[in-house]
Amino acid sequence: MAFRFAAAAFAALVLATAIFFARMRDNDESGGAVKGSPRLPTSVLPRHYNLRLKPDLQACVFDGDLSVDVEVVEGVDEIIINAADLKVRDGSVSFRPTGSSQVLKPATLDLVTDHEILVMKFKEALPVGQGTLSMSFEGTLNDQMKGFYRSSYSVGDEKRNMAVTQFEPADARRCFPSWDEPSFKATFKIVIEAPADRVVLSNMPVENEKMSGDSKVVEFQVTPIMSTYLVAVVVGELSYLEGTTRDGTSVRVYTLPGKAELGKFALGVAVETLPFYTEYFETPYPLPKMDMVAIPDFAAGAMENYGLVTYRETALLFDEKHSAAANKQRVAVVVTHELAHQWFGNLVTMEWWTHLWLNEGFATWVSYLAADYLFPEWKVWTQFNELTVDAYRLDGLVESHPIEVEVGHVREIDEIFDAISYKKGASIIRMLQTYLCAKTFQKGLASYIKKFAYRNAATEDLWDSLSSESGQPVKELMNSWTKQKGYPVLAVKLVGDALELHQSQFLSTGQPGFGEWVIPLTLCCNSYDSYKTSLVRGTSARIPISHEVDTKSKGKWIKLNVGQTGFYRVQYDDHLAASLRSAISGGYLQPDDRFGVLDDIYALCKACREPMRVLLSLMEAYSAEADPAVLGHLITVSRGVSWILADAIPAVAEDTKGFLSRLLLAPAKNVGWDAVPGESDLVSMLRGDLMLALVLFGHEPTVIEAKERFYEFLKDRNTSRLPADIRKAAYSAVMRSVTAADKSGYDALLQIYRETDLGQERTRILSCLAASSDTEVVREALNLILTDEVRNQDAFFVLGGVRREGRETAWSWLKENWSLLRSRWGDSGFLISRFVTTTTSFSSQEKADEIEEFFRQHGMLAIERTVSQCVERVRINARWVEFIREEEGFKELISELALP
Ligand code: BES
Ligand code: ZN
């Protein structure tokens, strides 16, 4: 029998591809994937996998045996499944119809590398009915953080490996030949042969363990029916902490030896979250146990494998002394997110990647619901506005995409794990929940979960369940949000005793857009008691307002998108805008609305629809702001303003920083440098953000204090003078004055980096190392990425820390090293796209052309979308810069506003 790698045999490739396309399913009917997309045929379906894997942690290879119980639905003469980077053993493949003694061997076996498929062609048609497909194979424990890969750690001077899987979206095929698409659900019996002294984990609890000499064979219980991308195995040296939920599920947090205590916070969150979801979805957690493992090398933040969730260390471990309050919130939100997937994603799975947003958007939204239940003091729903803002930012681009997105090649899937799927997805769910009301929404969801448990579902299935529960036209409303890209801006005018509304697509480029949305409008007049809601369809609407509206008197205002739960922006007429501004300074608006008004004006400014002057005078209305989330956003906006003005009118850069420092000084004085015992996490977070912003704006007293505290910390890592929350500010203050001639600050930071074993501390330092304005120092920091001192997973932190002064250096560095970067990160999913986003913060048309041209020559499929988006952003900035330059009297205004 012939076994050949198709890459080496072009003729075989052409032939196999032709067969493959000829037999493909009609994708347009099955989830909206584009024509010609490589989806597997459904003539033979997997029912149960028996999978045995034997990883060799030293040689970094593995061996596998597979037998799959299948159902032959149509009497075809071939079986096509996924496989990639595997060597299927010659002669090992066979098919045996159930109950028959006949064993069929394929006549040809082709591994088509481009399509990641294995084509087994038999001499004659397979009998319809059940059968078993068997084969054995081998592969490499790769270092790409996907498929079956190695992650390394040190014990003393010795470097050791653990073996870990990461299969989403489409990399189970790199570990075992499989029907590697979410709709081919099956059960799995997994058996792992490993060194006797290692811990072996998989989705299910161990059923049986046999020792034989130095190794052991660990057999796991059969899983419930599930998709391949959720299968997981971890083999390594691990310790754990254990807890039990109130309904009796065992939960463990596994870490490298010596770190188990750091899992305590996450364990507590998980133990409370599982029963919360059991109640919310009205469906118990379907598996007997939940293990959560911290993996030293991990591409994403975490992965929701059924019963065995894997995490980056920074997303699971929390150190009371050296982690910041922001790290704590991150851990809580990641854990609640991954546990949500156990229902939404794992029990009910999207039919195809076009519906990825169902998984990710929903998990993102519900993770806030759980976090709010566990930590009401964090006021996470106000923080949620940051997600919505990120979604607005991406979705305001022509190069955005609809929530339900066509997926052509599997390599394009990685790129849609983006702010649209996660953050716009979560935001429109928030909008829908508000519209339908919380209880109805929960009931509809629970019935959706019950109806589709152990099956697959598409977006419309969710709308159907919510419609039945609410009696509302959910599909009509939501289609306008999921099937077209973009979002609307509502222009509002008060004419007589009515509001005149006009909707149009909001594009940061300033171009006219064409979309139209069904908008669940909410509105308040002068008081939150006057809450009104109505559905706006069509481009214009008129809403009568009761007579008592008098926006001219003090404290009178009209606010649309109340609580910012809708996914649209509002542009008020001058008069309404002025009344909102005084409502903000007068303290009449709630935090979410204060957040929203600021962000809308900022975005309108960026789209050149409002002058800078309007934004600055609005920012002044926040001078008594005390809400941490609103202040957090004021800081974000301030940093954006400072950045663009430095490009637009360099002569006012210093005055701008002076003005912004003045704005932030009052709240900074309020929170002070030292934590008050028992203060809220929000205050600790805010302190860090404020001090960092003041440092970046060059506020000298803050820089001096931050540095002083840094040097105390350098002498004594246990000093109470530099808690984790303010370390980033201190590290940045130090890096500001580092030059090639005096690198002592850089070296000191690197020393702390090398000494610490805590992921959060390491990424904190990495994200400051390139923050010098000295070209040589920036280069040195970037080159560190290429050494083995920085794990591949962490490279982008260094790039993300480059300041405006270092961006040319970073861009040149990227171009010079591109082929190396591509070879190292190009196969690790979405990580490569981060290199593009972090090195392209420019604001001129020439630069946009240059970036476009560079990637035209050196691009790759996996970053196409990202490159177009980055180029568009540069053009938006360029246009904004021109607009600012033309704004009359602006220079004078900014110097008036600056610090005395
Ligand atoms: N399913 C994803 C993990 C993932 C991301 C797999 C990209 C493959 C490609 C997981 O549920 C997830 O969303 N993780 C987030 C964390 C979450 C809190 C937003 C992540 O990795 O950042
Ligand atoms: Zn997720």
As a whole number of angstroms, the distance between CA 427 and CA 770 comes to 34
Two tokens, residue 271: 């133990």
- Cα atoms in the Cβ-side hemisphere of radius 13 Å centred on 765: 24
As a whole number of angstroms, the distance between CA 876 and CA 393 comes to 11
CB 559 within 8 A of CB 523: yes
As a whole number of angstroms, the distance between CA 462 and CA 436 comes to 14
Right CATH number for 348-470 from 1.20.950.20, 1.10.390.10, 2.40.50.140, 3.30.70.580?
A: 1.10.390.10
Give the pairing type, strands 233-236 and 215-220.
unpaired
Give the pairing type, strands 44-56 and 187-195.
parallel
As a whole number of angstroms, the distance between CA 597 and CA 572 comes to 10
* Residue 827: predicted pLDDT: 83
As a whole number of angstroms, the distance between CA 295 and CA 703 comes to 36
Mutate-to-test residue for ligand 1 from 164, 308, 360, highest number of ligand atoms within 8 A of CB: 360
Give the pLDDT band (50/70/90) at residue 900.
low
805-808 long-range CB contacts below 8 Å, 24 or more apart? 805/772, 805/773, 806/770, 806/771, 806/772, 806/773, 806/775, 806/778, 807/839, 807/841, 807/842
Three-class secondary structure of residue 696 per DSSP: helix
Q: Which atom of ligand 1 is nearest to the CA of 341?
A: 11
CA dihedral 393, 696, 319, 794 (to 10 degrees): 60
Give the pairing type, strands 498-505 and 488-495.
antiparallel
Asked if residue 553 has pLDDT above 70, the reply is: no
Domain at 487-610: CATH architecture: Sandwich (2.60)
> For 57, phi and psi rounded to 5 degrees?
-70, -15
For atom 20 of ligand 1, the residue with the nearest CA is 301
Asked if residue 551 has pLDDT above 70, the reply is: no
For atom 14 of ligand 1, the residue with the nearest CA is 302
Give the pLDDT band (50/70/90) at residue 377.
very high
CB 202 within 8 A of CB 194: no
Query: 298 CA to middle of ligand 1, Å?
Result: 11
Give the pairing type, strands 129-140 and 187-195.
unpaired
Query: 117 CA to middle of ligand 1, Å?
Result: 26
For atom 17 of ligand 1, the residue with the nearest CA is 334
As a whole number of angstroms, the distance between CA 281 and CA 703 comes to 50
> For 728, phi and psi rounded to 5 degrees?
-65, -40
CA 759 to mean position of chain CA atoms: 19
What count of other Cβ atoms lies within 10 Å of the Cβ of residue 172? 29
Mutate-to-test residue for ligand 1 from 146, 338, 763, highest number of ligand atoms within 8 A of CB: 338
As a whole number of angstroms, the distance between CA 353 and CA 355 comes to 5
CB 698 within 8 A of CB 334: no
Ligand nearest to the CA of 312: 1
- Write out pLDDT tens, residues 686-714: 999 999 999 999 999 999 999 999 999 99
Lowest mean pLDDT among 219-223, 546-550, 665-669, 853-857: 546-550
Residue with tokens 């190695």: 150
Tell the burial category of 548 from Cβ atoms under 10 Å away from its Cβ (0-12, 13-18, 19+). exposed
Query: 803 CA to middle of ligand 1, Å?
Result: 27
Nearest to 392 by CA among 190, 126, 600: 600
The pLDDT of 479-490, averaged and rounded, is 97
Going by C-beta distance under 8 Å and a sequence separation of 6 or more, which residues neighbour residue 399? 865, 868, 869, 872
* Residue 554: predicted pLDDT: 64
Give the pLDDT band (50/70/90) at residue 246.
very high
| Amino acid letter, residue 810 | A
Lowest mean pLDDT among 23-37, 89-103, 259-273, 377-391: 23-37
Tell the burial category of 529 from Cβ atoms under 10 Å away from its Cβ (0-12, 13-18, 19+). exposed
Going by C-beta distance under 8 Å and a sequence separation of 6 or more, which residues neighbour residue 149? 141, 142, 143, 163, 164, 165, 166, 297
Mutate-to-test residue for ligand 1 from 166, 168, 273, 328, highest number of ligand atoms within 8 A of CB: 168
CA 300 to mean position of chain CA atoms: 8
- Average pLDDT value for the chain: 93
CATH topology agreement for domains 348-470 and 487-610? no
Query: 431 CA to middle of ligand 1, Å?
Result: 22
What count of other Cβ atoms lies within 10 Å of the Cβ of residue 713? 21
> For 437, phi and psi rounded to 5 degrees?
80, 145
Ligand nearest to the CA of 834: 1
Residue with tokens 């024509």: 35
**What is the CATH T-level fold of the domain 238-342, as seen in this structure?**
Neutral Protease; domain 2 (1.10.390)
Around ligand 1, the residues with Cβ closer than 6 Å are 168-169, 300-304, 333-334, 337-338, 341, 360, 363-364, 417, 422, 829
One-letter-per-residue 3-state SS of 705-762: HHHHHHHHHHHCCCCCCCCHHHHHHHHHHHHHCCCCCCCHHHHHHHHHHHHCCCHHHH
Q: Which atom of ligand 1 is nearest to the CA of 333?
A: 18
CB 161 within 8 A of CB 152: yes
Catalytic positions, please?
A: 338
Nearest to 433 by CA among 570, 560, 280, 590: 280
For atom 1 of ligand 1, the residue with the nearest CA is 303
Going by C-beta distance under 8 Å and a sequence separation of 6 or more, which residues neighbour residue 624? 585, 587, 666
As a whole number of angstroms, the distance between CA 453 and CA 445 comes to 12
| Most confident segment among 12-21, 763-772, 889-898 | 763-772
Ligand nearest to the CA of 305: 1
- Write out pLDDT tens, residues 249-285: 999 999 999 999 999 999 999 999 999 999 999 999 9
Two tokens, residue 489: 């801006």
Sign of CA dihedral 636, 637, 643, 646: negative
CB 509 within 8 A of CB 872: yes
Query: 302 CA to middle of ligand 1, Å?
Result: 5
Lowest mean pLDDT among 29-33, 99-103, 116-120, 255-259: 29-33
The share of the chain scoring above pLDDT 70, in percent, equals 95
For atom 22 of ligand 1, the residue with the nearest CA is 301
The per-residue DSSP string of 24-77 comes to ---GGGTT-PPTT-----SSEEEEEEEEEEEEETTTTEEEEEEEEEEEE-S--S
Going by C-beta distance under 8 Å and a sequence separation of 6 or more, which residues neighbour residue 254? 199, 201, 234, 238, 239, 240, 260, 263, 291, 292, 293, 294
Give the pLDDT band (50/70/90) at residue 410.
confident
Which residues place a Cβ less than 5 A from the ion ligand 2? 360, 363
| Amino acid letter, residue 69 | D
> In the chain, what are the domain boundaries?
1-207+217-237, 238-342, 348-470, 487-610
Residue with tokens 């519900």: 366
Three-class secondary structure of residue 249 per DSSP: coil
- Write out pLDDT tens, residues 603-649: 999 999 999 999 999 999 999 999 999 999 999 999 999 999 999 99
Asked if residue 28 has pLDDT above 50, the reply is: no
Q: Which atom of ligand 1 is nearest to the CA of 367?
A: 18
Nearest to 489 by CA among 433, 424, 569, 550: 569
The pLDDT of 62-76, averaged and rounded, is 98
Ligand nearest to the CA of 168: 1
Ligand nearest to the CA of 295: 1
Query: 353 CA to middle of ligand 1, Å?
Result: 14
For atom 10 of ligand 1, the residue with the nearest CA is 303
Residue 112, CA distances (Å) to 7, 140, 783 in order: 7, 18, 37
For atom 21 of ligand 1, the residue with the nearest CA is 301
CB 24 within 8 A of CB 38: yes
Give the pairing type, strands 108-112 and 2-5.
parallel
As a whole number of angstroms, the distance between CA 226 and CA 217 comes to 24
Asked if residue 3 has pLDDT above 60, the reply is: no
* Residue 699: predicted pLDDT: 97
* Residue 33: predicted pLDDT: 32
The pLDDT of 742-767, averaged and rounded, is 98
The pLDDT of 121-142, averaged and rounded, is 98
Residue 466, CA distances (Å) to 19, 355, 433 in order: 42, 17, 10
CA 540 to mean position of chain CA atoms: 35
- pTM equals 0.95
Query: 664 CA to middle of ligand 2, Å?
Result: 35
Helix axes 459-470, 438-452, angle to 10 degrees: 130
The angle formed by the CA atoms of residues 794, 800 and 801, to the nearest 5 degrees, is 105
- Write out pLDDT tens, residues 279-296: 999 999 999 999 999 999
Tell the burial category of 421 from Cβ atoms under 10 Å away from its Cβ (0-12, 13-18, 19+). buried
Homologous superfamily of the 1-207+217-237 domain (CATH): tricorn interacting facor f3 domain (2.60.40.1730)
Tell the burial category of 784 from Cβ atoms under 10 Å away from its Cβ (0-12, 13-18, 19+). middle
Query: 689 CA to middle of ligand 2, Å?
Result: 27
* Residue 548: predicted pLDDT: 55
As a whole number of angstroms, the distance between CA 247 and CA 284 comes to 9
For atom 3 of ligand 1, the residue with the nearest CA is 303
